[in-house]
Amino acid sequence: MFKGALFDLDGVIADTSTLHFEAWKKLVDNYFSVKLPDRLEEKTKGVSREDSLKVILNHLDVAVSESMFQQLLVEKNEYYKESLKAISSEAILTGVSDFISELKQQQVRLALASASLNGPFILEKLGLRDSFDTVVDPSNVAAGKPAPDIFLAAAAALKLQPSECIGIEDSIAGLRAIKDSGAFSVAVGKSTELQTADLTLATTAELKLATICTAFPHEKE
């Protein structure tokens, strides 16, 4: 039985990833009068705001000054935070509340390992803040996903080894981060690139304690 669960936020707890991309699209339209293609969304999922902007600017083949880069980051976050004002517990993805309840009943410790700087605010809006033992501040880790730093920090904050934890992600960058941290990787989604996880589930509705316990190794080789 694992002792810790390290959660991503966007696309795992609530579907706020679409709000992120809508904010990016609004920003790009305002500044560059360009419509971002939906296919670019996958490349911005699970990574930091800075890395997302780099992906977008590379797609646009646009170079900006450092001061403009920082301004774009701030404005995008303002758009995103505005969209979060209406979020509530209704935004929690199917099955997640029940799964968290199962984990708490078994005294599994919970950590949020999200690249989002708005993680604590979102958990409060969802009514889930008290369910989490710790929330890692992504600004305090050396490298963002796909580096494993945030999952290593989450396990350490729970006073656990990564091998005693599961990590749950819906992005390719996040999955790589979990695998490199040494935690048991649970991927949520239908992308073929997520099939490399230790356990892949099509949707959050399949997040069940019994399912994960069956797949989780009793002993590490």
Cα separation, 35 vs 76, in Å, equals 15
Cα separation, 16 vs 44, in Å, equals 13
Q: Which two tokens stand for residue 171?
A: 């992005």
Cα separation, 108 vs 59, in Å, equals 42
Q: Which two tokens stand for residue 200?
A: 């892949």
Residue-wise burial string across 182-208, b where 16 or more C-beta atoms lie within 10 A, e elsewhere = bbbbbbbbeeeebeebbbbbeebebbe
**Residue in 10, 149, 170, 198 annotated catalytic:** 10
133: annotated active-site residue:
no
8: annotated active-site residue:
yes
- Cβ contacts of 187 within 8 Å, gap of 6 or more: 168, 169, 170, 175, 194, 195, 196, 197, 199, 200, 201
Per DSSP, the three-state class of 58 is helix
The alpha carbon of residue 59 and the mean position of all alpha carbons in its chain are separated, in whole angstroms, by: 23
**Catalytic positions, please?**
8, 10
